[in-house]
Structure 1
Amino acid sequence: MIKKLTMAVITVLLMVSVPAKADVDALATCMMKALNGKERKQLSQWVFFSIASHPDMRGYANVSTANREKANKAVGDIVNRLLMEDCSTALVSAYKSNPKAINQAFEMVYKVGMQGLMTNPAVSGALSEYATYLDQEKLGRLLAK
């Protein structure tokens, strides 16, 4: 009896969460599709500037307060347009099914900015430069086991 009741509760919870996830996915998809190339670059710049504000990173990137403020305004304008204009219907639907929908959808937009940085050939090249110092022979022996 308890097993059946547990399964029934799980089924109901899944039925409730699936539409909420679908609404969040629809909002995130709308937001990503509405971004143009310039805005994707602005998001990447904003992500970089934000990461550069980390206390351990500040010494490596000289981002002025004015540049950070300009990037914040650009992203604020982009998000305002996405939420209030381009994706307002999807926003309302997602919010009604899940009040955290805005945060979850924005995570996808943030990932677009990060992806813009990480997929750049110069960045991917720089990310692989550590391999020069990798002990290939030792790694090969370990993987051959």
Structure 2
Amino acid sequence: MRKTIIGLAAGLAMVASAPLAAGEHQERLASCLKESSTQADRDALVRWIFVAMSAHPLTADLAVVPADTASAVSRDASAVFAKLITVTCGAESAGTIKYEGTEAFGKAFEVLGMSAMDGLMGHPRVAGAVAEMTSHLDPAQFDEMMKRYAD
């Protein structure tokens, strides 16, 4: 079961990966997770994803998360996972694991992760940060690229 939970956590953390062709059970589980998770559930997962990303050496200098905060965020996310897996979507979780395996189980959680990330990316401050990055782009570079490769 630990391998299953690690697989699901990795699947959630890799929300940008290419989707597999979903089976019937995986689709049911993904639907249950998305429809049954509360805003508080999605918020807890966004916080967990952020804390996990801040542990990477390339981002460690950008956000310092105190160990006690990281532990609390991890506990909150764990409670969300446990509730969704065993109670809210228990039948769908069991069916996915039994008939389609742990990889499909993890992939179903990507839907929930994407839903949580949509909320994060849709926030006006985050949109402003994205706009800040794009304001540094040189339109002439794109014009040149189009001239070079348009044929």
2:121 counterpart residue number: 118
Alignment identity in percent?
24
CA distance in 1: counterparts of 2:101 and 2:114, whole angstroms: 20
2:12 counterpart residue number: none
Q: Spell out the pairing of 1:89-128 with structure 2 (5 A cutoff).
A: 89-100=91-102, 101-128=104-131
Which AA in structure 1 matches 2:30?
A
CA deviation string 1:52-85 (max 9, x = no partner): 1111111110111111111111111111111111
CA distance in 2: counterparts of 1:90 and 1:23, whole angstroms: 7
Does the residue aligned with 1:99 lie in a helix, a strand or coil?
helix
Does the residue aligned with 1:78 lie in a helix, a strand or coil?
helix
> 1:41 Cα deviation (Å)?
1.1
Give yes or no for contact 1:43–1:112 (8 Å, CA) kept in 2.
no
1:4 counterpart residue number: none
What TM-score comes out, normalization by structure 1 length? Answer: 0.77
1:80 counterpart residue number: 82
Larger Rg: 1
Q: 1:58 to 1:141 in 2, by over 3 A?
A: closer
> 1:142 Cα deviation (Å)?
4.2
Question: Greater relative contact order: 1 or 2 (C-alpha under 8 angstroms, separation 6 or more)?
Answer: 2
**Structure with the higher fraction of residues in helix conformation:** 1
> 1:104 Cα deviation (Å)?
1.6
Give yes or no for contact 1:45–1:113 (8 Å, CA) kept in 2.
no
2:40 counterpart residue number: 38
What TM-score comes out, normalization by structure 2 length? Answer: 0.75
1:71 counterpart residue number: 73
CA distance in 2: counterparts of 1:102 and 1:54, whole angstroms: 25
* Structure 2: unaligned runs, 5 residues or longer: 1-20
> 1:50 Cα deviation (Å)?
0.9
Which AA in structure 2 matches 1:76?
S
CA distance in 1: counterparts of 2:141 and 2:32, whole angstroms: 48
Give yes or no for contact 2:44–2:80 (8 Å, CA) kept in 1.
no
